[in-house]
């Protein structure tokens, strides 16, 4: 089973590169975030034509939005309304006996202080709720699970281009890292990318649009993640961040992350 996650930053605007990715990489499942499309405007036809005949979508106009595209039947598609804001940031589906959770965690704005920045407070509360929902007393579905998405936090020192310079920058502040690691511990999730890439090796999935030459500057952050429950750890075969996709025509500022499991 090959599963990919990608913050596409508008599925309608970037449909051509999503089709390119699906054709070249041929994943079984692709989870998209920040689709920015109401459900009635989602571009189904192109995905249907190349074999992604099963889809679950949850979108809204101009903001947020998550989608799951699959070659295999989808069961029990559902969502949880984190922080009760009614925004489209979570979608789950059961595929081949595995529950897949697709997340778009709030970015959190620019000021890492919840008293001065409501967006940052929302982000912290969202991750706290993830921890509770997946915890022993939570209501998240049991059984083998995969959690993917743009979690908007780079938790480890080498998940950012400069640990020291980004400690006060939203996405790598100590409180965000603490909360994300608590969410990871809530179900003993295995961080798939770091399962294969040592923690002392730089690894990114996002490069800012603001960089004049993003590739040369290489000031990235690892914001996109794939986690699996411990019962799937032995099934892990490989994980890749497709950095070249960041340089495709009209790219997202995120690159796809792809994991392969033998299930």
pLDDT of 255: 98
Domain ranges in the chain?
Answer: 2-261
Distance CA 200, CA 161 (A): 12
Q: What are phi and psi of 131, to 5 degrees?
A: -60, -45
Comparing CA positions, the residue from 41, 71, 39, 36 lying closest to residue 53 is 71
pLDDT of 262: 97
CA torsion 211-64-52-258 (nearest 10°) is 50
Buried b (16+ CB within 10 A) or exposed e, 73-102: ebeebebbebeeeebbbbbbbbbeebbbbb
Contacts of 97 (CB under 8 A, 6+ apart): 143, 144, 263
pLDDT of 229: 98
pLDDT of 101: 98
pLDDT of 256: 98
pLDDT of 99: 98
Taking only the tens place, the pLDDT of each residue in 22-76 is 999 999 999 999 999 999 999 999 999 999 999 999 999 999 999 999 999 999 9
Compute CA 165 distance to the chain's CA centroid, rounded to the nearest angstrom: 24
Taking only the tens place, the pLDDT of each residue in 126-177 is 999 999 999 999 999 999 999 999 999 999 999 999 999 999 999 999 999 9
- The size of the chain, in residues, is 263
Classify residue 177 by its DSSP letter: H
Taking only the tens place, the pLDDT of each residue in 95-135 is 999 999 999 999 999 999 999 999 999 999 999 999 999 99
Fold of 2-261: Deoxyribonuclease I; Chain A (3.60.10)
Specify burial of residue 47 (Cβ count, 10 A radius: 0-12, 13-18, 19+).
buried
Distance CA 73, CA 52 (A): 10
Comparing CA positions, the residue from 29, 91, 99 lying closest to residue 64 is 91
Which residues are registered as beta bridge partners of 227?
147, 191
Predicted structure pTM score: 0.98
Comparing CA positions, the residue from 174, 106, 204 lying closest to residue 166 is 174
């Amino acid at each position: 089973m090959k599963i990919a996650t990608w913050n596409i930053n508008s599925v309608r605007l970037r449909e051509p590169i999503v089709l390119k990715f699906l054709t070249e990489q041929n994943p079984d499942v692709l989870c998209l975030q920040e689709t920015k499309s109401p459900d009635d405007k989602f571009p189904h036809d192109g995905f249907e034509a190349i074999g992604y005949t099963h889809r679950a979508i949850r979108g809204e106009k101009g903001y947020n939005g998550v989608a799951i595209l699959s070659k295999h039947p989808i069961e029990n598609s559902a969502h949880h309304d984190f922080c009760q804001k009614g925004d489209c940031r979570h979608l789950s589906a059961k595929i081949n006996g595995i529950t897949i959770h697709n997340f778009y965690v709030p970015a959190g704005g620019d000021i890492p202080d919840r008293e001065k920045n409501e967006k940052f407070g929302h982000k912290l509360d969202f991750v706290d709720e993830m921890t509770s929902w997946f915890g022993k007393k939570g209501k998240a579905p049991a059984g083998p699970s995969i959690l993917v998405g743009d979690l908007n936090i780079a938790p480890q020192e080498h998940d950012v281009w400069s640990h020291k310079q980004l400690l006060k920058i939203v996405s790598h502040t100590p409180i965000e890292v603490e909360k994300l690691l608590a969410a990871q511990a809530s179900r003993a999730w295995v961080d798939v990318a770091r399962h294969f890439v040592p923690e002392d090796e730089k690894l990114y999935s996002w490069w800012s649009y603001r960089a004049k030459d993003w590739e040369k500057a290489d000031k990235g952050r690892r914001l996109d993640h794939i986690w699996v429950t411990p019962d799937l750890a032995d099934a892990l075969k490989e994980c890749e961040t497709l950095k070249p996709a960041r340089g495709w025509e009209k790219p997202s500022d995120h690159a796809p992350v792809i994991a392969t499991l033998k299930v």
